[in-house]
């Protein structure tokens, strides 16, 4: 069974920008954003991706991901709940792990999150100096939550 084990963090500073190895744009929407299951359509680097995720327990959830034709992804994204999630993803490779730094746009502009996928929940993790507070267990930081409560609506 495919599992995603992921931890999310806020950033302390912008030192991570000096370590970016590649970046690309992501546009995604949710056909279903229910906490028990999400169904997401993503367009990334001219590829369409359908992702189904189960409910998160600790930092683990079931994840099923399939590449779909780009033209179908473009049609499906029109059916998604609004607003769509738009972001630039930056990749940083450190100590055999890939850190994904997401800079959000649109109604979530100003939010920047770091994510890292692990092999197990108990995996030792050496945090880069630019990593701040862990928000893995706070649902408001889930991409699927950002459509119903965008970052621009949060009290500063």
* Residue-wise DSSP of 30-49: EEE--TTEEEEEEEETTEEE
Q: Quick check: 107 pLDDT over 70?
A: yes
- The per-residue pLDDT for 77 is 97
Whether the CB-CB separation of 109 and 102 falls below 8 Å is answered with: no
- The per-residue pLDDT for 67 is 98
Whether the CB-CB separation of 146 and 85 falls below 8 Å is answered with: yes
**What pTM does this model have?**
0.93
Q: Rounded mean pLDDT of 74-92?
A: 97
Q: Rounded mean pLDDT of 65-83?
A: 97
Q: Quick check: 57 pLDDT over 90?
A: no
Catalytic residue among 30, 66, 141, 142: 30
Q: Quick check: 156 pLDDT over 80?
A: no
What is the CATH classification number for the domain harbouring 141? 2.40.320.10
The Cβ of residue 18 has, within 10 Å, a number of other Cβ atoms equal to: 8
Number of domains, the chain: 1
Q: Which domain holds residue 138?
A: 3-153
CA distance 103 to 150: 14
- Asked which of 24-33, 45-54, 81-90, 147-156 is least confident by mean pLDDT, the reply is 147-156
Q: Rounded mean pLDDT of 32-48?
A: 94
Closest CA to 110 of 6, 7, 10, 8: 10
Closest CA to 95 of 135, 131, 133, 127: 127
30 annotated active-site: yes
Average pLDDT, the chain: 95
């Amino acid at each position: 069974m495919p599992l995603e084990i992921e931890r999310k963090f806020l950033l302390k500073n912008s030192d991570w920008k000096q370590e970016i190895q590649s970046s690309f744009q992501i546009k995604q929407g949710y056909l279903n954003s229910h906490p028990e299951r999400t169904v997401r359509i993503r367009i990334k680097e001219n590829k369409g991706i359908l992702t189904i995720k189960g409910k998160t327990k600790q930092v683990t959830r079931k994840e099923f991901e399939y590449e779909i034709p780009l033209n179908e992804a473009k049609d499906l994204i029109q059916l998604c709940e609004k607003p769509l999630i738009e972001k630039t993803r930056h990749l940083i490779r450190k100590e055999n792990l890939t850190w994904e730094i997401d800079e959000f746009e649109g109604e979530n502009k100003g939010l920047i999150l770091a994510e890292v996928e692990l092999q197990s929940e108990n995996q030792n993790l050496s945090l880069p100096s630019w990593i701040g507070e862990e928000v893995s267990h706070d649902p408001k930081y889930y991409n699927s939550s950002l459509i119903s409560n965008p970052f621009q609506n949060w009290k500063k």
